[in-house]
Amino acid sequence: MAPKILVILVFLAVASPAALAAFDVIEMLADKPTYSTFLKLLQDTKVAGEANQLRSATLLVVPDKLAKPLASLPADKVRPAVENHVLLSYFDPIKLDEMKTRTAILPTLLSVTDKKLGVLNYTRADDEQMYFGAPGAPCLAKLVKVVAARPYSVSIMEISEPILPAALPSPVAAPGRRGKGGKRKIKPSAATHEDSNMIPRKPVEAVVVGKGKVAKDTVSESPAPSPAPVSAP
């Protein structure tokens, strides 16, 4: 009888929500060479290991062509900057869109050691585009698409530029433009929609959803609007 009880207890432990919610951000990005520089930063700074210990997380990543401002930071600034790209809760475009307020302050992994700087400002502009920014800096990092997600444990979302501390220069686009991106509302696939009973075991691939259309790895080219002013919720 005792061996049977032991087997049942082991099965329940393996099948528990905590076990099902476990994730590995390195594994989720390993087959996406577009983000190899950001992945290397996650590994070199040990931030990936810390992110994997969270109950839920959201990673804001940039493709290699936009990662230089982050990778070229002074050695003592790289880790805090990378930590500030890891939100301490699960978010996707639908969850952000369902917020009651158009602005919010979202804690990041950096808040473990620096509660003042370890947050990101979030704002949803009048045209429904979503932006992030460091404390004291404008919200210029636009949400581009969902790269991968396991609701409601972890999501990885691409942004239009790295989020740098306010004291450092932000990689803004040429005068008169705020970077690429049009007025299409960005949505993940239905698999990332909030459903408390759904825990997918496979990541959701990069998806950009326009008005009634679904496409992969596409971003429109018209200028993005200025984000709405940021204020505390």
Domains and CATH numbers, the chain: 25-159 (2.30.180.10)
One-character DSSP codes across 42-77: HHHTTHHHHHHTSSSEEEEE--GGG-HHHHTS-HHH
Task: Read off the tokens for 12.
Answer: 């329940």
Compute the distance between CA of residue 39 and CA of residue 26 in angstroms, rounded to an integer: 7
Q: What is the pLDDT of residue 165?
A: 82
* Chain centroid to CA 10: 33
Burial class of residue 218 in the structure, from the number of CB atoms within 10 Å of its CB (0-12 exposed, 13-18 middle, 19+ buried): middle
**Residue 178 pLDDT > 80, yes or no?**
no
Higher-confidence residue of 72 and 18: namely: 72
Q: What is the reported pTM?
A: 0.67
**Residue 214 pLDDT > 60, yes or no?**
no
Q: What is the pLDDT of residue 22?
A: 85
Read off the pLDDT of residues 124-146 as tens digits, 9 standing for 90 and up.
Answer: 999 999 999 999 999 999 999 99
- Of the chain, the percentage scoring pLDDT greater than 90 comes to 60
**Residue 114 pLDDT > 70, yes or no?**
yes
Alpha helices in 109-171 (DSSP H): none
pLDDT band, residue 166 (cuts 50/70/90): confident
**Residue 123 pLDDT > 60, yes or no?**
yes
Please name the amino acid found at residue 191: A
Read off the pLDDT of residues 59-113 as tens digits, 9 standing for 90 and up.
Answer: 999 999 999 999 999 999 999 999 999 999 999 999 999 999 999 999 999 999 9
Q: What is the pLDDT of residue 128?
A: 93
Long-range contacts from 36-42, C-beta under 8 angstroms, 24+ separation: 36/64, 37/64, 37/67, 37/71, 38/62, 38/63, 38/64, 38/67, 38/70, 41/67, 41/70, 41/71, 41/78, 41/82, 42/82
